[in-house]
Amino acid sequence: MWNEQRIQNVLEAQRRFFRSGKTLPVDFRLRQLARLKAAVQAHEEELLAALHEDLGRCPEEAYLCDIGALIVEINEIMANLKKWAKPERHFSGMLCFPSRTTMVYKMPYGVSLIISPFNFPILLSLGVLAASIAGGNTAVIKASSKSSACTQAIATLIADTFPEKYAVVVDGGHDVADLCLAQPFDKIFYTGSPAVGKHVMAEAAKNLTPVTLELGGENGNWCIIRKDADLKDAARKIAFFKMLNAGQICININQIAVAEEVAEEFLDELQKAIAKQMGEHPEANPEYPRMITRAAFEKCLAAKETYADRVVFGGDADEESLKIAPAVIYPVKIDEEIVQRELFSPLLPVVPYPDDQVDSVLRTIAQREHALAFYLFTKDVRWAKKVMSTQQFGGGCINEVCLHLMVKGVPFGGVGHSGMGCYHGVWGFREFTHPQTVLVGETRGNLPLREHPFGGRKNAYKMKILKVFER
Task: Give the catalytic positions in this structure.
Answer: 214, 250
- Per-residue model confidence (pLDDT) at position 317: 98
Separation of alpha carbons 398 and 404, rounded Å = 10
What is residue 1's predicted lDDT score, i.e. its pLDDT? 87
User: Each residue of 313-341: pLDDT tens digit?
Assistant: 999 999 999 999 999 999 999 999 999 99
User: In sequence order, what DSSP letters do the residues of 363-380 get, joined into one string?
Assistant: HHHHHSPPEEEEEEE-S-
Q: Residue 25: give its domain's CATH number.
A: 3.40.605.10
Q: What is the torsion angle, in degrees rounded to the nearest 10, for the CA atoms of residue 70, residue 400, residue 119 and residue 181?
A: 80
Span 168-187, average pLDDT = 97
Q: Give the whole-number percent of the chain exceeding pLDDT 90.
A: 93
Is 382 part of any domain?
yes
Determine what percent of the chain is predicted with pLDDT higher than 70. 100
Q: Does residue 471 lie within any of the structural domains?
A: no
pTM: 0.96
Residue 255 — very low, low, confident or very high, per pLDDT cuts 50/70/90? very high
Cα 391 to Cα 178: distance, rounded to the nearest angstrom:
35
Report yes or no on 443 lying in a domain. Answer: no
Has residue 455 been placed in a domain? no
Question: In the predicted model, is pLDDT for residue 465 greater than 90?
Answer: no
Give the range of the structural domain holding residue 395, as residue numbers without chain letter: 222-409
Q: Identify whether the C-beta of residue 350 lies closer than 8 Å to the C-beta of residue 263.
A: yes
What is the phi/psi pair of residue 25, to 5°?
-60, 135
Tell me, what CATH number does 266's domain have?
A: 3.40.309.10
Do 248 and 378 sit in the same domain of this protein? yes
- Is residue 134 domain-shared with residue 269, that is, in the same domain? no
Neighbours of 427 (CB within 10 A): 16
Give the full edge-to-edge strand order of the sheet including 347-353: 311-314, 327-329, 347-353, 255-259, 222-225, 371-377, 393-398
Contact present, 397 and 412 (Cβ < 8 Å):
no
pLDDT(225) > 90: yes
Residue closest to 343 by CA, chosen among 223, 471, 249: 249
Same domain for 271 and 195: no
pLDDT at position 67, please? 97
At position 41, the amino acid (one-letter code) is Q
Confidence band for 468, pLDDT divided at 50, 70 and 90: confident
Residues 92 and 231 in one domain: no
Average pLDDT over residues 441-466: 89
Phi then psi for 104, rounded to 5 degrees? -120, 110
pLDDT, tens digit, 9 for 90 and up, residues 5-27: 999 999 999 999 999 999 999 99
On whether both 212 and 226 belong to a single domain, the answer is: no
> What is the mean predicted confidence (pLDDT) over 160-164?
98
- The yes-or-no verdict on residue 470 having pLDDT over 90 is no
Same domain (yes/no): 202, 250: no
Domain-embedded: residue 187: yes
Instruction: State mean pLDDT over 451-462.
Output: 89
**For the chain, what is the domain count?**
2
**Does the residue 456 lie in any domain?**
no
Mean pLDDT (the chain, rounded): 97
**448: pLDDT strictly greater than 90:** no
Q: Does residue 446 sit within a domain?
A: no
Tell me the per-residue pLDDT of 34-92, one tens digit each, with 9 for 90 and over. 999 999 999 999 999 999 999 999 999 999 999 999 999 999 999 999 999 999 999 99
Same structural domain, 212 and 238: no
Tell me: do 227 and 122 sit in the same domain.
no
Q: What angle do CA 429, 202, 433 make, to 5 degrees?
A: 15
DSSP state of 261: T
440 domain-assigned = no
DSSP string, 325-393: --EEE-S--TTSGGGSS---SSEEEEEEE-GGGHHHHHHHHHHSPPEEEEEEE-S-HHHHHHHHTTS-E
At 394 the three-state DSSP class reads strand
Q: Rounded to the nearest 5 degrees, what angle is found at the Cα of 94, between the Cα atoms of 91 and 99?
A: 60
Question: Looking at the structure, do residues 61 and 163 belong to the same domain, yes or no?
Answer: yes
Of the two residues 465 and 129, the one the predictor is more confident about is: 129
Report which DSSP code applies to 401: S
**50 and 155 inside one domain:** yes
Q: Are residues 191 and 275 in the same domain?
A: no
Q: Tell me, yes or no, whether 35 and 169 share the same domain.
A: yes
